[in-house]
Structure 1
């Protein structure tokens, strides 16, 4: 890569604040020596090279009192684009991403630079001997924190782990029933206290080992040994018994009509009984090829018992701090974003605001929480912020929201509630993940709060708060997104020790909430729906959690990418994707 680009950017970054309207700046050789980290002699060599390129005009000072001047002749945007291109072509992706993230330029130019990265990253084919490999690439703004199904937390973790591991059964959204996966058949005792699964033969883990009933049994024991935050979901399970290599029976302490949901959940995704150190080993359609701080590579598993993925490899680049409102999986070297496919899907679940009852404060007063409910106006936030915010939420399920009357919030009434609560001007912290959507909502709420005399302090976090030992702040903005098996997902939200509601509510409130779910798994679907309704109503009535908005998942995809289907979390099903050649079907 031409060092002139680096030198130009170093000088520009150091002097841009001092630049005059005509593009010139007064500067000494000594100052340039500091900026370039080189001797004055080398500075003169660098200046001569940049002048020869026509990038600068250097006018050395003549005589006492006449300072030197430097004029920038090349637009900074052009130089940044050239350097980004050079870094990408030489395979130095991390440096290119860091350069864009650190560039002190306007948003228009920064979006243009990101577009160049997207073009480079796009869907491409790589030659390998006599065949080609189709590679899908994407950028994520947050690194993976965990690769263990027992501790799955963020939506992207769940998505990736779902590509690596398999479960006994699979939930089918269309029919609201369960389909065979690792188990080809299952049955329960008449009283539903014993569930038996018959495993497929010949299923192999990524390292070649055969999957047997012992691995299923070990996976259950592992959840308990690891003290998974989801262990309450399996509280009725006494043990798993094996009968030969391909039959496993779960013995339960009481009737459980819900057990197939558990058999299909990621927490019970089957791992090898003799688990080894190193990269996670599963039996899913993709295996891990590389796992680094800045990059994850998934390779199609040729030995997969189901349909081998048609995409050969997926590269995920992690760049904390990147701002992307929509996910992109789309651009090839010939594609432009305007020509890509857009897919959208309303998400299950909602964004919400929750109070932290594990810290003392004014938020324990009902009038104060009601004031925040009025401030957190669901119609107003959609109108003023827009983006992926779809519609006001009156619960986690859109169906509950559609059948509910959601009144607008009155700032005058909020101010009156605030006075009645005894609020005395103290500052309260509002915690949120440091991402564009969350930050804009927090800033919006802070501005509305200041209008009625409430002072909120914004506390962005870089990691998932559900993993901290003690959550800070009196309030937190969050989201709960539900997968296709929404019953399992909603139950997990209420019972999993790692979720916000179990970390923010105090013991007394949690006991009240959890009591609603006693015997839940023994009920039929209608009875379970009634429990969910009671739990959502309790949160709403007491203002322990304030429902916000449902969101719309949007993604942009390469126009030659087929088999597209978004899952409930807004991600494409990688196993179904395939590439249609741009020239397919054309005649010579």
Structure 2
């Protein structure tokens, strides 16, 4: 059956470029043998099989060398659907992904095939030995970056690392309180220079070894040894001391009121000291990695997890190129899947924005040019003309700050054209980098069109591989479109965004700008929250006034969930808490 669909599609593509059905096409057996790379005798066997499936009508010519008549009865996409289902029935997902990704057809037909795949990549139960396993399948539209707590800065990778690792404490955004995790109790001295944590007993890593205070010490040492770009956040740590297996103390060089925020983030996720891991595949979190390839990540519930074991037994994540869908698909179980499933809309903290390459020479250094781009890249106009996931014009990373901000002037093409002339722009083509995803591509094309209306030439540079090509490689343009989504602990994440030496913003800014940011952030962790927030406001004001970045729109992230899935709780970055998900059996 596998070969029947393949051979039908081979003949259909080569003989029928006009996509005619129930129309006789003149062919010879010799022609078909060449197309199928087989003998004339085998061609006749193939034709008989296709006829028996009522896919073709074959009328052989009379006499040697005479032409025959072949009619295709079904569109290629119908047979392609059969082929995709065959592959999925055999769990050959990678081949199905490649088949759909390379299909040259209309958008409607392509969407039909994606919907079939989405049905497969959903919540289902599998019989395994004597028990039934609840499995969640997810789709991601870009490759997986390295799972390394020392260098991670992309949202999905942080999300996965939080499933397989754990921290001393957790931050609860709803209450603004810190909650016990691996540590059940903690304390500090009067001037906040010594922080002591008391660890739970019996916490195990995925390889069965016990987690101890030495592992916490090792995690800090590893961060230093790998020269993590986040080290500047932890520069107050002078020493990490473990007292036996269940007590660990951090000695700081100066008072730090913000220290618990630093302990709860993924950079300090506890790793086993007895294994040196380039990527963090073994932790103590609720899920453990059972498979990791370029195309697939499988997570199994960790039965020995010290907390509540996840109700899900397995999570499979398949990685595929961006193809015609902008929402996150977690489980689809019916045709016309999106209409039949629950749609979750989650306004996220953060926004889409533009930044400039200040490390390279060019017109982007001129203040009038950047002001020109601000008038072109107008959040309100994009909402009206593009819609999509855009829900509000952004003037800050934080939606409530944007809501209270009143711009002095809305975007104007007339003003933009005047500013472009005043900047001394010479008509040369400039690069506009962006991740090659649907909404980013739409926005980049829109900006290119706006720029063309005032005589500014932009060349689109879609980044199709990894984030590194936009940071350092061929996809780096004078202007870069990005998106920053903040964790629930937004205060920590904003400090990290403005100061982390490994992220997009830092790699776009020039040396003097970096020094200015570091100077403004200096001492922020010694302050109370209200004073910290004032500093962050001051930094964003500098960004707006100098147009170092230009904010676009706040975003709504969509996800589609099977109606039998319960326990939905959306957390940081708009992802669900996998540990709480469960399926209600019919």
Whether TM-score is above 0.5 comes out as yes
Name the residue aligned to 2:438.
436
Cα distance in 1 for partners of 2:493, 2:34 equals 57
Name the residue aligned to 1:147.
147
Name the residue aligned to 2:241.
241
Q: Compared with structure 1, are the counterparts of its residues 560 and 334 closer, same or farther at alpha carbon in structure 2 (3 Å cutoff)?
A: farther
Name the residue aligned to 1:343.
344
Q: Compared with structure 1, are the counterparts of its residues 156 and 35 closer, same or farther at alpha carbon in structure 2 (3 Å cutoff)?
A: farther
Whether contact under 8 Å (1:466, 1:500) holds in the other structure is no
Equivalent of 1:519 in 504, 523, 526: 523
Any residues of structure 2 matched to 1:54-69 within 5 Å, and which?
A: 54-58=54-58
Name the residue aligned to 1:94.
94
Any residues of structure 2 matched to 1:14-25 within 5 Å, and which?
A: 14-19=14-19, 23=23, 25=25
CA deviation vs aligned residue, 1:422-456 (integer Å, no higher than 9, x gap): 11110000111111111111111111111111111
Equivalent of 2:580 in 566, 573, 576: 576
Q: Compared with structure 1, are the counterparts of its residues 29 and 415 closer, same or farther at alpha carbon in structure 2 (3 Å cutoff)?
A: farther
Whether contact under 8 Å (1:24, 1:69) holds in the other structure is yes
Whether contact under 8 Å (1:351, 1:551) holds in the other structure is yes
Name the residue aligned to 2:493.
489
CA deviation vs aligned residue, 1:90-110 (integer Å, no higher than 9, x gap): 221111121111111211111
Cα distance in 1 for partners of 2:426, 2:23 equals 52
Whether contact under 8 Å (2:21, 2:72) holds in the other structure is no
Whether contact under 8 Å (2:301, 2:314) holds in the other structure is yes
Name the residue aligned to 1:562.
566
Q: Could you say what the CA RMSD is over the residues aligned between the two structures, in angstroms?
A: 2.2
Q: CA deviation at 1:86?
A: 1.2
Name the residue aligned to 1:501.
505
Name the residue aligned to 1:364.
365
Name the residue aligned to 2:391.
390
Whether contact under 8 Å (1:427, 1:455) holds in the other structure is yes
Q: CA deviation at 1:379?
A: 0.9
CA deviation vs aligned residue, 1:18-55 (integer Å, no higher than 9, x gap): 55697455555555444323344433443343344332
The number of residue pairs the alignment matches comes to 582
Cα distance in 2 for partners of 1:450, 1:11 equals 44
Q: CA deviation at 1:72?
A: 1.9
Please identify, of 22-31 and 312-321, the stretch whose mean Cα deviation from structure 2 is larger: 22-31
Name the residue aligned to 1:585.
none
Output the TM-score relative to the length of structure 2.
0.95
Name the residue aligned to 2:80.
80
Whether contact under 8 Å (2:324, 2:438) holds in the other structure is yes
Please identify, of 463-472 and 356-365, the stretch whose mean Cα deviation from structure 2 is larger: 463-472
Q: CA deviation at 1:409?
A: 1.1
Name the residue aligned to 1:453.
455
Cα distance in 1 for partners of 2:37, 2:456 equals 49
Whether contact under 8 Å (1:141, 1:320) holds in the other structure is yes
Please identify, of 430-439 and 57-66, the stretch whose mean Cα deviation from structure 2 is larger: 57-66
Cα distance in 2 for partners of 1:81, 1:237 equals 58
CA deviation vs aligned residue, 1:542-565 (integer Å, no higher than 9, x gap): 011000111012111111111101
Q: CA deviation at 1:198?
A: 1.0
Name the residue aligned to 2:406.
405
CA deviation vs aligned residue, 1:99-145 (integer Å, no higher than 9, x gap): 11111121111111111122222211122344321111111111211
Cα distance in 2 for partners of 1:383, 1:316 equals 35
CA deviation vs aligned residue, 1:205-231 (integer Å, no higher than 9, x gap): 111111111110110010010111111
Cα distance in 2 for partners of 1:333, 1:21 equals 29
Cα distance in 2 for partners of 1:436, 1:273 equals 42
Please identify, of 458-467 and 387-396, the stretch whose mean Cα deviation from structure 2 is larger: 458-467
Cα distance in 1 for partners of 2:88, 2:573 equals 31
Q: CA deviation at 1:459?
A: 0.6
Cα distance in 1 for partners of 2:116, 2:550 equals 41
Whether contact under 8 Å (1:467, 1:498) holds in the other structure is no
* Partner SS for 1:111: helix
Cα distance in 2 for partners of 1:35, 1:535 equals 65
Q: Compared with structure 1, are the counterparts of its residues 323 and 151 closer, same or farther at alpha carbon in structure 2 (3 Å cutoff)?
A: farther
* Partner SS for 1:153: coil
Name the residue aligned to 1:586.
none
* Partner SS for 1:460: strand
Name the residue aligned to 2:127.
127
Cα distance in 2 for partners of 1:204, 1:229 equals 29
Q: Compared with structure 1, are the counterparts of its residues 573 and 149 closer, same or farther at alpha carbon in structure 2 (3 Å cutoff)?
A: same
Cα distance in 2 for partners of 1:23, 1:419 equals 60
Name the residue aligned to 1:425.
427
Q: CA deviation at 1:374?
A: 0.6
The answer for unaligned runs of 5 or more in structure 1 is 583-588
Cα distance in 1 for partners of 2:527, 2:322 equals 45
* Partner SS for 2:364: helix
Cα distance in 1 for partners of 2:443, 2:272 equals 43
CA deviation vs aligned residue, 1:295-321 (integer Å, no higher than 9, x gap): 111001111111111111101111123
Cα distance in 2 for partners of 1:417, 1:384 equals 23
The answer for unaligned runs of 5 or more in structure 2 is none
Name the residue aligned to 1:223.
223
* Partner SS for 2:441: helix
Q: CA deviation at 1:479?
A: 0.5
Name the residue aligned to 2:105.
105
Please identify, of 388-397 and 143-152, the stretch whose mean Cα deviation from structure 2 is larger: 143-152
Name the residue aligned to 2:467.
464
Q: Compared with structure 1, are the counterparts of its residues 74 and 208 closer, same or farther at alpha carbon in structure 2 (3 Å cutoff)?
A: same
Cα distance in 1 for partners of 2:570, 2:105 equals 34
Whether contact under 8 Å (2:469, 2:476) holds in the other structure is no
Cα distance in 1 for partners of 2:296, 2:302 equals 19
Whether contact under 8 Å (2:60, 2:68) holds in the other structure is yes
Name the residue aligned to 1:321.
322
Cα distance in 2 for partners of 1:348, 1:260 equals 21
Name the residue aligned to 2:13.
13
